Every structure is written in structure tokens, then in C-alpha cells.
Amino acid sequence: MLKQYFENLYTGSQPEFFKRASLAMDQEEKLFVVTANPETMMIGVQDQDLDAVLCKPSTVIVPDGIGVVKGAQSLGIETQGRVTGVELAAHLIRHAGETNRSIYLYGAKEEVLQALVSRIQREHPGAVIAGCRNGYGQDDDEVFEEILRLKPDVILVALGIPRQELLIDRWLPRFSKGIFVGVGGSFDVLSG
């Protein structure tokens, strides 16, 4: 339920969250981040499966949209501002580049995906692209079987809400490490 989502809400600053995510990557932890906007929460209220994901204590929800920051405020929860999906994805790619970690990219159109892969290879040559698949006409489970086999350090899933969250949540128990983030339309932004 809506109120419970706010119990999982990260209330610190974006730079602090980036530090936490970097550390989790360095220490090969498992972390699932939901970058939430008001739409995420409204879908959660109506969709039992997304509701369960958002209520799980292990799910970390960050306030991507200003509406979530304001919603928290109205419940008396002070946050230190937004943590956006686009900037989080950019940070994880940067940190992977600095520490030679691997990334798997799933989602968006093929040309967007290829443009993003080229950009990562050009700007963050230390990052290893473990694999990538566009988000159209794929069998989600087949893709995740590949991800499980490759054991990347960062898994960015850009399929939109709630498909990306439900997919990550369903497969998460089978992984022992990885920073998993549902990043929505971020590949479209970061590829340009």
C-alpha cells in the first residue's frame, strides 16, 4: 500500500546514494533500485504484483520524480531531493568504467541501444559490456537466463514500468550479486 512504499523510500541526497551504489558494486552486493515517479506508485496501488515489489523491505525506492519528493513531504517524510534514474544509470556506467566492472543493458530500440553501447565504449573504455538486447520481441526469461549466466555487475533494464520491475523482482532471488535498476526511458536520454 502507498504508505508502505514511503517506508522503502531513500531519503538521503543523490551524491550519498551514488556512494552507496558504488560501494555495493565494489563489494559485489545485490541491490535492486526502483526509480519512482508518481506514476510508479499509482500503478502499484492498482497492480498487486508491483505493489508487492514496492512493499518488499529489500527494495530500495529512490525519488526519481519531484512528485514523490512532495508526496513524501505531505506524509511528514523529509528527503534530500531527487535521485534520478538517468543520473543513477550514468553514475553506475561511470563507476563501472573506473573499476572495470561489467554492464548488461536490456531494453529500448536497437538503434538507441547501439548508440548507447558505442558511447559507453568511447567514454568509459574501462567498462565491460557483458551483453545487450533491445526491448522488442524478446523473451524476457531467455534474456534473464543469459544475464544469469554472464553474472554482470550492473543490470540496467529499460522496458518501462511495471514490466522492468516485475521482471527484475522475479529473477532477483537467483542472483548472488548485481546492481539492478529499472531505468525506464533513460537509454533514450543517455544514448544521445
Q: Is 160 in the site for ligand UDP (CB under 6 A)?
A: yes
Q: What cell was used for 76?
A: 511528514
Which position among 24, 133, 184, 191 is part of the footprint of ligand UDP (CB under 6 A)? 184
Q: Is 187 in the site for ligand UDP (CB under 6 A)?
A: yes
x-marked contacts with ligand UDP along 116-135 as a string, rule CB under 6 A: -------------------x
**What does the alpha-carbon distance between residue 38 and residue 20 come to, in Å, rounded to a whole number?**
24
CB of 183 to ligand UDP, least distance (A): 8
Which position among 110, 111, 125, 136 is part of the footprint of ligand UDP (CB under 6 A)? 136
Crossing angle of helices 38-46 and 66-74, in 10° steps, is 70
Q: Is 159 in the site for ligand UDP (CB under 6 A)?
A: yes
How many residues would you count in the chain?
192
Name which of 30 and 109 has its Cβ closer to ligand UDP: 109
Q: Which is it for strands 178-182 and 30-36: parallel, antiparallel or unpaired?
A: parallel
Strands ordered across the beta sheet of 59-63: 59-63, 30-36, 178-182, 154-158, 102-107, 128-133
Extended strands (E) in the chain: 30-36, 59-63, 102-107, 128-133, 154-158, 178-182
| Amino acid making up residue 67 | G
**What does the alpha-carbon distance between residue 64 and residue 14 come to, in Å, rounded to a whole number?**
10
Please tell me the count of residues contacting ligand UDP according to CB under 6 A.
13
Name which of 97 and 135 has its Cβ closer to ligand UDP: 135
CB of 99 to ligand UDP, least distance (A): 26
CB of 39 to ligand UDP, least distance (A): 7
Contact set with ligand UDP (CB under 6 A): 107-109, 135-136, 158-161, 184-185, 187-188
